[in-house]
Structure 1
Amino acid sequence: MAEYKLEEKDGFIVIGLGTDLKSDYTDFAGLSKEKADFWQAVSEDGRLDTLKSIATNDYIFAVNEAVNNKMMHYAGVMAEASSPVPDGARVIQFPKGEYVVVKGEGNTAEELNNMVTAIAFGQVLPEEKNVAYVGAPNATVEMGHRNGQVFGEMWIPVVRK
């Protein structure tokens, strides 16, 4: 089984800029391209820098969430409830409780995201017998750079079975 841990987290908020993913949830290549195009756009047009200016830490969140029967993907930052919300952004509430946490690293943030997502949803959750993911927002958290690699974690809120 993949290396992971179950960790208790306080509730927190992420302020994120989102895109409605159009590819089928089983179309990995299509979803990856949509996400990569979105990240390139928010990085180049300055919207990600605007979010960073209200962040409470240096982490960058790639959030996935089902909203009104749409598969949404967000670029976000952890922020205080009183933080200003930029135009077009949304406050995403992560619940207090237990989380599956999968650590990883990659050559790029996209590689990190793809790797920890595949491990979390392809190995850990199907094999974990004591907890279940019930569909709350989940996130890949880019935490920094080390030895030319991007390192971070996947955070998935779970409930006890």
Structure 2
Amino acid sequence: MANYTLEEKESFTVVGMGTDLKSDYNDYAGINKEKLDFWQAVKQDGRLDALKAVAANDYIFAVNEAVNQKLMHYAGVMTDATLPEATRVIQFPKGEYLVVKGEAASADALSNTLTGIAFGQVLPEAKDFAYVGGPNATVEMGQRDGQVFGEVWIPVVRK
């Protein structure tokens, strides 16, 4: 099984700007293309810079959340500030989180790799805990040696 940890986290808030993913939830190629297009847009049109300006730290969150039967994807930052153009304030609950750490050549590759490990390997094989829904996020934490490093945070409950 892939390397992972279970970590207790305090509740936190991510303010995000998002998009409604249209691809079927099993269409990984379609979902990944939609996410890539979305991230290119928020970087180019200044929305990501607006989020960074109110951030409590340097972390960039790629949040996935089901809202009203829709799969939503957000670019976000951890903050208690408000931002008029934000489309969602996402509350992450206090509790235990599955954490998978890694690095990749780009933020997109990092998100795809960590999400794949967490949902494709760790959670299907887990005997003591389970993901029961709620927002989950890939957290881009910085760069070193030409690589983007970060973690995926998925709230879990003990079985």
Please give the range of the TM-score, normalised by the shorter of the 2 chains.
over 0.9
C-alpha distance in 2 between matches for 1:92 and 1:67: 11
Root mean square deviation of aligned Cα? 0.7
User: Is the Cα contact below 8 Å between 2:140 and 2:150 reproduced in 1?
Assistant: yes
Residues 100-138 of structure 1, C-alpha deviations (whole Å, 9 max, x = no match): 000011000000000000000000001111111011100
Which residues of 2 match residues 21-100 of structure 1 at below 5 A? Answer: 21-80=21-80, 83-100=81-98
User: Is the Cα contact below 8 Å between 1:100 and 1:157 reproduced in 2?
Assistant: yes
Structure 1 runs (4+) deviating above 6 angstroms are none
User: Is the Cα contact below 8 Å between 2:15 and 2:86 reproduced in 1?
Assistant: no
1:20 alignment partner in structure 2: 20
Which amino acid counterpart does residue 111 of structure 1 have in structure 2?
A
CA shift at 1:97, angstroms? 0.1
The sequence identity of aligned pairs, in percent, is 72
C-alpha distance in 1 between matches for 2:95 and 2:85: 30
- State whether structure 2 residue 138 is matched by structure 1 residue 137: no
CA shift at 1:88, angstroms? 4.0
Flag structure 2 segments of 5+ consecutive residues without an equivalent.
none
Residues 63-112 of structure 1, C-alpha deviations (whole Å, 9 max, x = no match): 000000000000000001xx122324210000000000000110000000
Q: Normalising by structure 1, report the TM-score.
A: 0.97
1:155 alignment partner in structure 2: 153
User: Is the Cα contact below 8 Å between 2:7 and 2:99 reproduced in 1?
Assistant: yes
Flag structure 1 segments of 5+ consecutive residues without an equivalent.
none
